Amino acid sequence: MNSNEKVLDILSKSEEPLRPGEIADAAGLDKKEADKAIKELKKEGKIMSPKRCFYAINK
């Protein structure tokens, strides 16, 4: 499972939007690695940012 898949998995299980640090901790990733995955997933349209610095799965 790569970083992008881990981030997607964490966000899909979460009931509410999460901060990048929370995503990194839950996925067991380095914060920089999680930030990179978040940026890629947001660009692909798989996740969204409902409010500043919070991310959620794009349903």
Q: Note the pLDDT of residue 1.
A: 87
Q: Which CATH architecture has domain 3-57?
A: Orthogonal Bundle (1.10)
How big, in percent rounded to 5, are the helix, strand and coil portions of the chain? 55, 15, 25
Q: Which residues contact 36 (CB under 8 A, 6 or more apart)?
A: 3
Query: pLDDT for 33-48, tens place per residue?
Result: 999 999 999 999 999 9
Q: Note the pLDDT of residue 33.
A: 97
Instruction: Give pTM, 2 decimals.
Output: 0.91
